[in-house]
Amino acid sequence: MTPRFDFASDNTAGMAPEALAALVHANAGAAEAYGEDATSAHAARLVRELLDVDASVHFVPTGTAANALALATLCGSHQAVAVHGHAHVRRGEAGAPGFFGGGLGLVPVGGEHGRIAMADLERLLTRPNSSSDQPIAALSISNPTEYGALYPLDALVALVGMARDHGLAVHLDGARLACAAAAGLDLRALARLDISILVLGGTKAGMPGSEAIVLLDKTRDRHFVARIKQSGHLLSKGRFLAAPWIGMLESGAWIERSRHANGMARRLIDRLAITPAHPVETNAVFLAMEAEQRARLRALGWVFYGLADGHARFLCSWSTTEAAIDELADAIVATRP
């Protein structure tokens, strides 16, 4: 039986045509190394235009590197970052922020659907000081959340405002920010918030492997390239990290391909006609599913992520087809107890 990786992750999809074409175009001739080339400068300019900001932009090959480098820049080794308890930087990056940051801590905050609850954050930030605790120096927000839920702009305004009122820097993990933009989030309004570092995801949007670290607070840029180099993420042939951004942003595919992924997730939940475990606001569908049903689905070849809480996650991508959605929906219905 051939495994079906269609919904295991949006990382399992290949390159979007726009990204591939730009990569091939950048391959012609020789260019300066280590991101000092014209292709990297062009891609950085397009990112700034997308957000309508004057910011420093750096490209790295993984989201783990992007987030860890960002948090290590915002937080000292004796300090900590407030983050949702289920956020990817806390649960899915093997302690990379602490490793890159020389021991910085990650303090969990609660909230439904992966969204940080204002009341929980306020309790954390107003707790008595203790020499036993790492003081909170930054807030990390994921949009969409690990469960595919969106923060509306006013919620982001409130969170960032509270963080700044308490003297915190702010990091936004935008691994799937293209999906949020496709769902209606105003990226330029987002960039006008007092966020220190914003990570734009390219890999999950259809690129071969590239994330953009956007230093909205340009004072953080001093020696940042040295930090990237030290971590082993400054590619000598940096133009190949940057080129896919040119293809995806100039064509509009970065958002349009994500709009398709969001639509496929909605098609799946509409076909199933059931209530999902978390709101289907982007490209993720989470379903409550008994262990026996998960086993039957896997026996049919479907690969998906099973959570310890009994939920199954299905992620759509730029390349998900309606036929694949219908096949999966039929399989889920057929394997129900």
Structural domain boundaries of the chain?
17-251, 254-334
What are 166-191's pLDDT values in tens digits? 999 999 999 999 999 999 999 999 99
Residue (of 139, 133, 137, 148) closest to 90 by Cα position: 139
**Confidence grade of residue 277 (pLDDT, cut at 50, 70, 90):** very high
**Confidence grade of residue 54 (pLDDT, cut at 50, 70, 90):** very high
| Encoded tokens for 63 | 């989201």
Query: 46 by DSSP, 3-state: which?
Result: helix
Where does the chain show beta strands of DSSP type E? Answer: 56-60, 80-84, 105-109, 136-142, 169-174, 197-201, 211-215, 284-288, 305-306, 311-315
Degrees, nearest 5: CA angle 86-88-93: 125
- Residue 308: predicted pLDDT: 82
What are 259-270's pLDDT values in tens digits? 999 999 999 999
Question: Is CATH 3.30.360.10 correct for 17-251?
Answer: no
| Encoded tokens for 21 | 């074409």
> Residue 332 is inside which H or E element, if any?
helix 322-334
Question: Is CATH 3.40.50.720 correct for 254-334?
Answer: no
Cβ burial 178-217 (10 Å sphere, 16+ → b, else e): bbbbbbebebeebbebebbbbbbbbbbbbbbebbbbbbbb
Rounded distance, CA 169 to CA 70, Å? Answer: 11
Residue 258, pLDDT > 80, answer: yes
What would the DSSP string read from start to end of 135-165?
PEEEEEEESS-TTSPPPPHHHHHHHHHHHHH
CA distance to 22, 111, 119, 191, 243, per residue, from 43 (Å): 11, 36, 39, 18, 7
Residue 1, pLDDT > 80, answer: no
Rounded distance, CA 177 to CA 187, Å? Answer: 9
- Residue 138: predicted pLDDT: 98
Give the β-pairing of 136-142 and 169-174.
parallel
**Confidence grade of residue 310 (pLDDT, cut at 50, 70, 90):** confident
Rounded distance, CA 34 to CA 225, Å? Answer: 10
Residue (of 249, 238, 264) closest to 206 by Cα position: 249
DSSP class of 24: H
| Encoded tokens for 101 | 């940051």
Q: Are 195 and 170 in contact (CB under 8 A)?
A: yes
- Residue 132: predicted pLDDT: 84
Instruction: Report phi then psi at 288, rounded to 5.
Output: -70, 125
| Encoded tokens for 66 | 């992007």
Q: Are 170 and 203 in contact (CB under 8 A)?
A: no
Residue in the structure block whose two tokens are 């379903």: 287
